[in-house]
Structure 1
Amino acid sequence: MQVILLQDVKNYGKKDQVVEVSDGYAMNYLLPKKLAVKASQESINLLKSKIKKEDINKKADIEKTQKLKEAIEAITLNFKLAQKDGKSFGSVSQAQIEEKMLKEYQIKIDKRKLLKHENLNQIGLFYIKLKLDFNIEATINVKIESKE
């Protein structure tokens, strides 16, 4: 019997797949537990339209993420650190970067998505990688200047 899986079923397939299973397994387990529905022409057409709609939504989400990446890469965050005799006092943390992005640019980022970031405690320009959705990476420019 052909069924459309409504959830992942171990050894048979993933959600939204059309699979062939034995009649007994379908009638006694999959259908009563609502893990699958019988694959009729109508249900297959509904599945195809659902998958098409999900693809369109995913493409739109990827475009949004790409625009977010472009917006992030156009920004340079400026911080000031106290410095005396060439030695800096204090540092810029992930939380400060996250807070400044939200406060000044209304862009919410998750500090845990910053890749290989340590607290910045030197004067200069730093490039910090940020992992966004869909394996898209953006680079945040952080410029640290002396307070003097």
Structure 2
Amino acid sequence: MEVILLERIEKLGQMGDVVKVKDGFARNFLLPQKKALRASEDNLAYFEKEKVTLEANNLKQKQEAEVILTKLDDFNLIIIRQAGETGQLYGSVNTNDVKTSLNENGFVVEKNQIKLDKPIKELGIHKVSVKLHPEVQAIISVIVSRTESEAETLIKGDEIKIESEENLISEDTINLEEVFEEGAVPEDINEESAEITEDNDNQISEDLSNENNSDTDESEKKDDADS
């Protein structure tokens, strides 16, 4: 389908350009969003007639976007989320979360203006672009942290405490050989082991003594019976 662009569209063209696009893209995006008109004779004539007005409106919108740009560009947007010791979020931060947070900070934007390639799933500073106008784009820093103070640490450029997965050893996997050097097992453990061994030896000796006494008693009883 051929359409007349009513504004600059990235990778397509400038306002007033007649371009050929896929039917689905035109019907589902360009036409309902009023970013283009079908390239019919009537619409071409309409555009030529309204060109000056359309260009004036576009210039006004661009200037308004540039005013917002001065406040939004390089803005630090703090989003608080729970996360594990490795920095992985319990969930994620998506486009709607960014939009909601921007709105709460006084910036009126829609989801389709925010470019987030994939949901954010870890703590840190993440660069996100916000299209304010076809020709004006802001880059903000989305700071995902567990607390406000942690966010301030990130903004200052300092590192936050995050454990690597290798350092998170479960108690079930810990044994003495991994924790202590060879021959360096603590004395109290050695003493406890020695006490257990000694107790076991004493118990065995006592059991053997009792068994021998029992055998002697049985022999004496047998001799008495024979007599």
Taking structure 1 as the reference length, what is the TM-score of the superposition?
0.59
1:40 is matched with which residue? none
- Which runs of 5 or more structure 1 residues have no equivalent in the other structure? 1-6, 19-46
2:66 is matched with which residue? 66
Deviation at 1:140, TM superposition (A): 2.1
8 Å Cα contact 1:94-1:117 kept in structure 2 = no
8 Å Cα contact 2:124-2:145 kept in structure 1 = yes
Pair 53,97 (structure 1): closer, same or farther in 2 beyond 3 Å: same
Higher helix share: 2
1:103 is matched with which residue? 104
8 Å Cα contact 1:125-1:144 kept in structure 2 = yes
Question: Once the two structures are superposed, what CA deviation does each residue of 1:2-36 show, in whole Å capped at 9, x if it has no partner?
Answer: xxxxx977368713477xxxxxxxxxxxxxxxxxx
Higher strand share: 1
Pair 76,82 (structure 1): closer, same or farther in 2 beyond 3 Å: same
1:133 aligns with 2:140: no
Which 10-residue stretch deviates more, 52-61 or 120-129? 52-61
2:31 is matched with which residue? none
8 Å Cα contact 2:74-2:139 kept in structure 1 = no
Deviation at 1:87, TM superposition (A): 3.9
- Helix, strand or coil: the match of 1:61? helix
Write the distance in 1 (CA, Å) between the matches of 2:85 and 2:38.
63
- Helix, strand or coil: the match of 2:143? strand
Which 10-residue stretch deviates more, 7-16 or 110-119? 7-16
2:220 is matched with which residue? none
1:82 aligns with 2:82: yes
Question: Once the two structures are superposed, what CA deviation does each residue of 1:63-119 show, in whole Å capped at 9, x if it has no partner?
Answer: 1112222222142111122233214222212111111111222x2212123224321
8 Å Cα contact 1:8-1:15 kept in structure 2 = no
1:19-30 pair list within 5 angstroms: none
Write the distance in 2 (CA, Å) between the matches of 1:17 and 1:99.
36
How many pairs align?
111
2:146 is matched with which residue? 146
Greater relative contact order (Cα < 8 A, sep 6+): 1
Pair 52,124 (structure 1): closer, same or farther in 2 beyond 3 Å: same
1:7-22 pair list within 5 angstroms: 10=40, 14-16=44-46
Taking structure 2 as the reference length, what is the TM-score of the superposition?
0.41
2:11 is matched with which residue? none
- Helix, strand or coil: the match of 2:45? coil
Write the distance in 1 (CA, Å) between the matches of 2:82 and 2:47.
60
Write the distance in 2 (CA, Å) between the matches of 1:129 and 1:17.
31
- Which runs of 5 or more structure 2 residues have no equivalent in the other structure? 1-36, 151-227
8 Å Cα contact 2:62-2:135 kept in structure 1 = no
